[in-house]
Amino acid sequence: MYKEKIKELPIIIPLVIYHGQTKWKIPTNLSELINGYEALPKEVKEYVPDFKYLLYDISRYSDEDIKGSAEIKILFTLFCDIVTKTGEPLFHSIQRALYYWLE
């Protein structure tokens, strides 16, 4: 429900969680991803968001390295396993995650 008295937004920190097979090589500033950003007039730039996002590359961590709540550990482990495992091993990872989640 919208409240007319609220005039502020909470802090929003952009975060990318990556779990690919190759190293992340994409710039972490939005302006570097927009073709011709530097050539834009100042009047246009003030309406184009330019922020840096946090990158959490979980593909380089082992299951033991992943810290946090059980839900976070399950989620990140599954992200890694989806990329590195196939067939029966992947099925067992999903089963194990569901078991821990429902425990």
Please report whether residue 87 resides in a domain. yes
Please report whether residue 3 resides in a domain. no
Please report whether residue 47 resides in a domain. yes
Per-residue pLDDT tens digits for 51-91: 999 888 877 776 667 666 677 777 777 777 777 777 888 88
Same domain, 77 and 50: no
Please report whether residue 8 resides in a domain. no
β partners of residue 18: 57
- Give one DSSP letter per residue of 30-97, joined into a string: GGGGSTTGGGS-HHHHTTS---B-EEEEGGG--TTT--S-HHHHHHHHHHHHHHH--HHHHHHHHHHH
Per-residue pLDDT tens digits for 2-33: 667 777 888 888 888 887 878 889 999 999 99
* Phi, psi (degrees; rounded to nearest 5) at 53: -110, 155
Domain residue limits at 83: 63-103
Same domain, 18 and 56: yes
Same domain, 18 and 47: yes
Please report whether residue 39 resides in a domain. yes
